Amino acid sequence: MIRSGLLGRAILASSSPRLHEEEARALGLDLTYELFDFTQRGLADADLAGVVDSLKRQGFAGFNVTYPFKQAIMPLMDELAPSAQAAGAVNTVAIRDGRLIGHNTDMPGFRDSLLAGLPGAALGHVIQLGAGGAGSAVANALLSLGVARLELVDPDAARAGALATDLAARYPSARVLVTPLADLDTAPADGIVNATPIGMAAKPGTPIPADAIAAHHWLADIIYFPLETELLRVARSKGCRAINGIGMVVGQAALALGIITGHTPNAERMKRSLA
């Protein structure tokens, strides 16, 4: 049996167990996917190292990582794959001979979902809400696609500043800015990306006021539960082209399942399964 799972907070409603287990069965694999919800289990963030060590001792083949641990888990890795180094975050861990190898499948997952879901989207000026672990992967994906001006908005100014510095060094031809939410002017932007947890079932609401969204914007929300966040509802009511996080979650999940099991999943089949 292959043991895998997901570490995070407020994840009990996650579709990942069904997504991974159904695709594993289709591949002829006996795989279990367990949720390690730190909130539900009464665990502190400081317990992360202990939980990871426990999974290693129990013989897990690997696991996924979500909010709020994608960056906190990096120092626990024995090795970082190039994808994790580039994104500055880990969302997939493979355990090989007792060694923890951190990967990031969020970056290609988001990049591919944006290309497929919003073909031809203007990339001159993009506003990104959120500069955490998922935000780091999303920002790298946006800049790799050729975004010329990326504006980061995050309540943690130090975190946003550190990400901006890293991105500026990696993509010298682009301009990366940090803007406080109170100073944000969305009017000149082509697109808006929500890479915060605001809008999730456990964190309802919108990360920016509804009147900050206009018809000329395209909008991408990386949240997939619920399928339509309040932010997406507002954007679509104004005529914006918009996508939810389904494409990203399926893309990253297919890549993660392949990393953990060594088998090649069928992403289209996984998308149909999730739908």
The CATH superfamily holding the domain 2-104+250-274 is Leucine Dehydrogenase, chain A, domain 1 (3.40.50.10860)
Amino acid identity of residue 25, one-letter, is: R
For the chain, give the percent of residues with pLDDT over 70: 100
| Polymer length of the chain | 275
Which residue from 149, 131, 142, 240 is spatially nearest to 231, judged by alpha carbons?
240
Which CATH architecture fits 107-244?
Answer: 3-Layer(aba) Sandwich (3.40)
* Contact by Cβ (8 Å): 246, 227: yes
Among 56, 70, 203, 238, the one annotated catalytic: 70
Binding site listing for shikimate: 14-16, 66, 91, 106, 224, 252
Helix axes 246-261 and 16-26, enclosed angle (nearest 10): 50
Strands 92-96, 99-103: pairing kind? antiparallel
Binding site listing: 14-16, 66, 91, 106, 130-134, 222, 224, 245, 252
Residue 99's alpha-carbon distances to 17, 36, 132, 214, 220, in angstroms, are 24, 20, 25, 48, 35
Active site annotation includes 70: yes
Query: Is pLDDT at 275 greater than 80 in this prediction?
Result: no
At 117 the pLDDT is 97
At 205 the pLDDT is 97
Binding site listing for NADP(+): 130-134, 222, 245
171 falls in which pLDDT band (50, 70, 90)?
very high
Chain-centroid distance of CA 141 in Å reads 11
Query: Is pLDDT at 202 greater than 90 in this prediction?
Result: no
Query: Is pLDDT at 14 greater than 80 in this prediction?
Result: yes
Any idea where the domains of the chain sit in the sequence?
A: 2-104+250-274, 107-244
Instruction: Please tell me if the domain spanning 2-104+250-274 has the same topology as the one spanning 107-244.
Output: yes
Per residue in 70-99, pLDDT tens? 999 999 999 999 999 999 999 999 999 999
**210-237: average pLDDT:** 96
At 47 the pLDDT is 98
At 225 the pLDDT is 80
**5-27: average pLDDT:** 95
Per residue in 34-79, pLDDT tens? 999 999 999 999 999 999 999 999 999 999 999 899 999 999 999 9
**250-263: average pLDDT:** 97
Tell whether pTM > 0.75.
Answer: yes
Sheet bearing 191-194, strands edge to edge: 175-178, 149-153, 125-129, 191-194, 218-221, 241-243
* Contact by Cβ (8 Å): 104, 89: yes
- Mean pLDDT in the chain? 96
